[in-house]
Amino acid sequence: ETGVTQTPRHLVMGMTNKKSLKCEQHLGHNAMYWYKQSAKKPLELMFVYNFKEQTENNSVPSRFSPECPNSSHLFLHLHTLQPEDSALYLCASSQDRLTGGTLHFGNGTRLTVT
């Protein structure tokens, strides 16, 4: 039990589909993050939310659209993705952005774009 739950665990989608990834944390944290993990590349920070406000968008293409309705939930809406977007998408949380080194990760969603 990691305290950070991501669904679904696996997702296969075509390039014209629209899907959403969900993340929920039960740790009472105020900051949430989306990271992308691709083979042989460092983890890439995509988005940061602190107290529901987006504080960072790391030059992510607009086909990825985050949503943070409250401090416990984070979504990543996907549309018209490309095959190179296939990766493991990891959600993480921390007490707040200032303690953002002590991250608690979910197990990730393995996304395959066909």
Partner 1 sequence: GEDVEQSLFLSVREGDSSVINCTYTDSSSTYLYWYKQEPGAGLQLLTYIFSNMDMKQDQRLTVLLNKKDKHLSLRIADTQTGDSAIYFCAEKGGGADGLTFGKGTHLIIQP
Is residue 112 a contact point for partner 1 (CB under 8 A)?
A: no
Could you tell me the smallest distance in angstroms from the CB atom of residue 25 to partner 1?
12
CB within 8 Å of 30: residues ≥ 6 apart: 50, 51, 71, 95, 96
Q: Which of 56, 72, 79, 80 forms a contact with partner 1 (CB under 8 A)?
A: 56
Q: Which of 25, 28, 21 is nearest to 7 (CA)?
A: 21
Footprint of partner 1 (CB under 8 A): 2, 4, 6, 31, 33, 35, 40-43, 45, 48, 50, 55-56, 90, 92, 97, 100-108
